[in-house]
Chain A
């Protein structure tokens, strides 16, 4: 299986709001910790190291600073 990058959430606005909602009222450090736990949980759920590898690559590439 490969990483799903097309739309995969029926109600993306609700999912996005749930993510933001989980962080509500948290300090920056608490948010960082929550994100870290969430990533570990999702990574385990995915299980497939190839998919995780593609996700890591996409996350890295999409954060790359534009040259210059």
Chain B
């Protein structure tokens, strides 16, 4: 059954009748990223106003694949369980050349993690859950039909001009988060360049409703019989909805290709029958671009406004949620006066790094699908031809490298040789079962010392979590050592690790993080 869009009511904001007191944070855009940012700030006790020009959740499904890391972040802000309960859980992807399977991958080969590798869930559901959570929060003032028409920097904040159905008003804010999406009007208002490439290729993206028992796996075809010479992707979503992506070629006419009478016969060839309903469709040309810097004084870009990628690899929304993860605790500390504004430069550094990794991976996949004539095509075709004959060529077949969080380059962070690389400084702390709970459920939110196989040093002015050495903890945190101390940031990133350390060394490193020096 297709999603039932319920418009959110417009409520006249106080600013229409009298100037509002200055707000700590104003968030522009109630897409997944703006909503998640508001909830993350609320988790840290910080209030925000969220403005959105629209009054319904995402029209059309757009994002469907939510990564393990996104689910962990969504869990911290209260909607992880709902997403997993409603979503289609999957971890295996299969890639075909013509009718032969040439490659498959398993994104979560080991058990002992709270969250699955991926769930497929329509973006409108995720936004629906986030809106409900935001409305219940008490710290979030969510305003629909509030369109931002101007943003300007002031000496110690920013001013936002807003248009509503009942008139215009202005807000003063300490910080403005531009979460206004790929076409970001704020980016344009500030005259910022969005650098990168556009791929000269068109894709038809359609959601269909049908009764079928296709497996909960990602299936991708190069040059399938049913879609001559091009590529195709099939993904299962909840409510008997299937996502189909079909590569069309640059020479096709987007207006013509977006007509149901053109689309339906194409999809009939994919699924082998005509017994389905077309739920949503659109023709896309994809880009990989980013802002040079995400932080511009008091205006901070988060999510698609800061960076866009082609969707093969699901790095758009998932990348944006990692922005929220890296920004929330820092901005909260700045707003409450616990940290200097300089620590926001660390957000910029880390997320431009993450964004470059996402752009690199997404560009490579898109070029493999849609190679330029000449050398690119020769080697692409050679790889596909070799894949059914030689093992080495199979992983070279690139139908998308699915979103995994980047490892931040925390140069100089204390580290121990011989401990696992999965938990090295800069990486997300790996999850592990913890009695009846999960390690990630007790890490995060605050700077925390995780003490493994030993008590935490005495008189440590930090939150401490002490855990027993289980097989999972040993494999993920100890490697060839038998004890460890891990400093975990509020965003669950490993900041440093020691085999043994004095309280002084640990608090000194924590202080360096709060001052933006590490």
* A interface residues with partner B (beta carbon < 8 Å): 32-33, 35-37, 39-41, 44
Contact A33 B378, beta carbon cutoff 8 Å: yes
Q: Which residues of A contact B393 (CB under 8 A)?
A: 40, 44
The contact size tier of chain B is: 10 to 19
B399: CB under 8 A from chain A?
A: no
Contact B378 A40, beta carbon cutoff 8 Å: no
Contact B392 A32, beta carbon cutoff 8 Å: no
| Distance between Cα atoms of A40 and B394 in the complex (Å) | 12
Shortest beta-carbon contacts, A-B, top 7: A36-B382, A44-B392, A36-B378, A37-B382, A36-B379, A32-B378, A40-B382
B390: CB under 8 A from chain A?
A: yes
Q: Which residues of B contact A32 (CB under 8 A)?
A: 378
27 CB-based A-B contacts, threshold 8 Å: A32-B378, A33-B378, A33-B381, A33-B382, A33-B385, A35-B378, A36-B378, A36-B379, A36-B381, A36-B382, A37-B382, A37-B385, A37-B386, A39-B379, A39-B382, A40-B379, A40-B382, A40-B383, A40-B386, A40-B393, A40-B396, A41-B386, A41-B390, A41-B392, A44-B390, A44-B392, A44-B393
Q: Name the distance in Å between A66's Cβ and chain B's nearest Cβ.
A: 23
Q: Name the distance in Å between A4's Cβ and chain B's nearest Cβ.
A: 21
| Distance between Cα atoms of A39 and B381 in the complex (Å) | 13
Q: Which residues of A contact B386 (CB under 8 A)?
A: 37, 40-41
| Distance between Cα atoms of A33 and B374 in the complex (Å) | 11
Q: Name the distance in Å between A8's Cβ and chain B's nearest Cβ.
A: 22
Q: Which residues of B contact A35 (CB under 8 A)?
A: 378
Q: Chain A contact residues: over half helix, strand or loop, or mixed?
A: helix
Known: A40-B382, A40-B396. 15 other contacts (CB 8 A): A33-B385, A35-B378, A36-B378, A36-B381, A36-B382, A37-B382, A37-B385, A37-B386, A39-B379, A39-B382, A40-B379, A40-B383, A40-B393, A41-B386, A44-B392
| Distance between Cα atoms of A41 and B383 in the complex (Å) | 10
| Distance between Cα atoms of A64 and B390 in the complex (Å) | 33
Which residue of chain A has its CB nearest to the CB of B380? Answer: A36
Q: Which residues of A contact B385 (CB under 8 A)?
A: 33, 37
Q: Which residues of B contact A33 (CB under 8 A)?
A: 378, 381-382, 385
Q: Which residues of A contact B382 (CB under 8 A)?
A: 33, 36-37, 39-40
Q: Which residues of B contact A40 (CB under 8 A)?
A: 379, 382-383, 386, 393, 396
Q: Which residues of A contact B378 (CB under 8 A)?
A: 32-33, 35-36
| Distance between Cα atoms of A40 and B381 in the complex (Å) | 11
| Distance between Cα atoms of A41 and B389 in the complex (Å) | 11
Q: Name the distance in Å between B392's Cβ and chain A's nearest Cβ.
A: 4
Q: Which residues of A contact B383 (CB under 8 A)?
A: 40
| Distance between Cα atoms of A61 and B381 in the complex (Å) | 26
B38-67 contacts to A (CB < 8 Å): none
| Distance between Cα atoms of A37 and B383 in the complex (Å) | 7
Q: Name the distance in Å between A47's Cβ and chain B's nearest Cβ.
A: 10
| Distance between Cα atoms of A58 and B138 in the complex (Å) | 65
Which residue of chain A has its CB nearest to the CB of B392? Answer: A44
B372-426 contacts to A (CB < 8 Å): 378-379, 381-383, 385-386, 390, 392-393, 396
| Distance between Cα atoms of A8 and B392 in the complex (Å) | 25
User: For A32, A35, A36, A41, which residue has the most chain B Cβ atoms within 10 angstroms?
Assistant: A36
| Distance between Cα atoms of A64 and B382 in the complex (Å) | 26
Q: Name the distance in Å between B327's Cβ and chain A's nearest Cβ.
A: 35
Q: Name the distance in Å between B64's Cβ and chain A's nearest Cβ.
A: 33
| Distance between Cα atoms of A34 and B53 in the complex (Å) | 56
| Distance between Cα atoms of A39 and B393 in the complex (Å) | 12
Q: Which residues of A contact B379 (CB under 8 A)?
A: 36, 39-40
| Distance between Cα atoms of A37 and B390 in the complex (Å) | 11
